[in-house]
Structure 1
Amino acid sequence: MILLLQQQLKGRTIIQWVPSHSNIPGNELADKYAKEIAQDGEPPVTPLSYNAARAIIKREIRDQAPSHPTISRTYEHLSFKEDRKIGSRRDAALLAQLRSGHCKELAAYRHRIDNSKDDKCPKCQFEAETLQHWISCPATILKRQRIFGDENISLGVMTKQPEPVLAYAKETFHQ
């Protein structure tokens, strides 16, 4: 279906990596359909305009509020208007990875996929570098103050202020 839509679109199409099974809105339904197609073989070819596909998606997909506490706090201020300001595919992918906590830049995530890696924050060494720790690490107080105007930020900034989050990520991950 993506290929059919892609052929009909007159513009640039971006397909973005999103971690599976992370309670990200729309992701569980996409996983379900991908598994069905993988089991049944090729989907039937039905010409579909972009507007028709968009209308079907808006009508059919009704995401439940995320139940996981971290994901719920992360997505509490979701604004597609703010997300549209993200200019590059790389930045959009980094933002999606950060929001889910499945970001290879976070030591706790690297440790989760390879337990020989240390999960401690490389900046402060106080605790595991999870998403929550990353946005409140004592070693980056001055950077948060400069970028966000406050040293105390919550997970809600992940959706409320995506551009400053990316600036903070670029400064704190690539030291």
Structure 2
Amino acid sequence: MNNQAKILGITFDTMHTFGAHCRDTAKKCSQRNNALKALAGTDWGSDKETLLMTYKAVVRSKLEYGAAVITPTLSESNIEKLQKVQNSALRTITGCHAMTHIDHLHQETSVLPVRRHLRMRTIQHHLANHLPDHPGNQLTKEPKNPPRLMKETLQTRYEERYIEPLLDSNRPLTEKKYRNLLKTIHTNEVRDALQTYEYPAVLGHNPPKIAKEETELPRTTRRTLAQLRSGYSKFLNSYMNRIDPTVSELCPDCQQTSHTTIHLFDCIANPTNLTPADLWKQPKKTAIFLKLPTTLDPTTSDE
């Protein structure tokens, strides 16, 4: 007996957990991630911006499909199945290693965690239901606190906390107001996400935005800079020592301190006025200081 049914691309189960849907989606998106990897060669691959657009168009569009239907009842374990797919994609896009903190991947790419992105899309969808001529307007008439709540719904989970503070109860929602509120919902979710991210270990505080000048650097260099910002890179003996204990973790130049991202800017053998923050603020100068390629030369390699 089959207790599942697929309707318009969403797999429904008897308890509306959408576990089977998340498993199928994660499997299909993992296959799409393989195509993303094919575009992301170490030296010759597409730049981060192109890979990110490809991910959003080909992979995340599948991850978020039917968000308004599945999100109200999704468990954290099912969301985690989708999050792992995104983690893999973001590592491919940035070139960061497996031990890189997930928050760093989201900060590097300005991509929301899956849980927050699904919630944002769901709230935006529910907001549209408040338009007077929207087909889903009748959903807003449902009780927010029904006498017996079997499963969460859009109304019970999002109306009072997220929607009501945005609306004027004395005026109907207009198209112009709706468009503005879509941006407000996005802004609120991004702001809240930034407040929950862990600080990069190499800074100890919220990182600045990556300077646009980094887009002028070759992928191999941008990859190394992203890794250094995470604190894990083949450029560092401290990282290589974790892979191969026979490699000394000491700085190859001064032989006094562990070779970390922070030490690169504090080594007595290579004095500089640059700081770890310049990995974000001045990527070109930092690349020159670290003797990384700075021209878009397809024959250049960091391997």
Range into which the TM-score falls when normalised by the shorter chain: 0.5 to 0.7
SS at match of 2:263: helix
Report the alpha carbon displacement of residue 78 of structure 1 after superposing the two structures with TM. Answer: 1.9
1 or 2 for the larger relative contact order (CA 8 Å, sep ≥6)?
1
Structure label with greater radius of gyration: 2
The 5-angstrom pairing of residues 17-166 of structure 1 reads 17-20=95-98, 21-22=100-101, 23-26=103-106, 29=113, 59=186, 62=190, 63-65=193-195, 66-68=197-199, 70-73=201-204, 76-86=207-217, 88-141=218-271, 144=272, 150=273, 153-166=274-287
- Contact 1:78–1:159 (CA<8 Å) still a contact in 2? yes
Tell me the distance in 2 between the aligned counterparts of 1:106 and 1:84. 23
Report the alpha carbon displacement of residue 69 of structure 1 after superposing the two structures with TM. Answer: 5.3
Tell me the distance in 1 between the aligned counterparts of 2:209 and 2:245. 33
The structure-2 alpha-carbon separation of the partners of 1:105 and 1:69, relative to structure 1 and needing over 3 Å to count, comes to: closer
- Contact 2:238–2:260 (CA<8 Å) still a contact in 1? yes
Deviations 1:136-164 (A, max 9, x none): 100001xx2xxxxx3xx322111011111
- Contact 1:18–1:96 (CA<8 Å) still a contact in 2? yes
Report the equivalent of 2:288.
Answer: 167
> Which ranges of structure 1 fall in alignment gaps of 5 or more residues?
34-54, 145-149
Report the equivalent of 1:46.
Answer: none
Report the alpha carbon displacement of residue 74 of structure 1 after superposing the two structures with TM. Answer: 7.6
Tell me the distance in 1 between the aligned counterparts of 2:254 and 2:228. 19
Tell me the distance in 2 between the aligned counterparts of 1:132 and 1:164. 16
Q: Which amino acid aligns with 1:116?
A: T
The aligned length equals: 135
Normalised to the residue count of structure 1, the TM-score between the two structures is 0.60
Report the alpha carbon displacement of residue 91 of structure 1 after superposing the two structures with TM. Answer: 1.3
- Contact 1:120–1:126 (CA<8 Å) still a contact in 2? yes
Deviation >6 Å, runs of 4+: none
- Contact 1:108–1:130 (CA<8 Å) still a contact in 2? yes
Tell me the distance in 1 between the aligned counterparts of 2:287 and 2:201. 19
Report the alpha carbon displacement of residue 25 of structure 1 after superposing the two structures with TM. Answer: 4.8
Q: Which amino acid aligns with 1:119?
A: E
Report the alpha carbon displacement of residue 167 of structure 1 after superposing the two structures with TM. Answer: 1.0
Deviations 1:16-48 (A, max 9, x none): 323344131527837xx9xxxxxxxxxxxxxxx
The structure-2 alpha-carbon separation of the partners of 1:116 and 1:74, relative to structure 1 and needing over 3 Å to count, comes to: farther
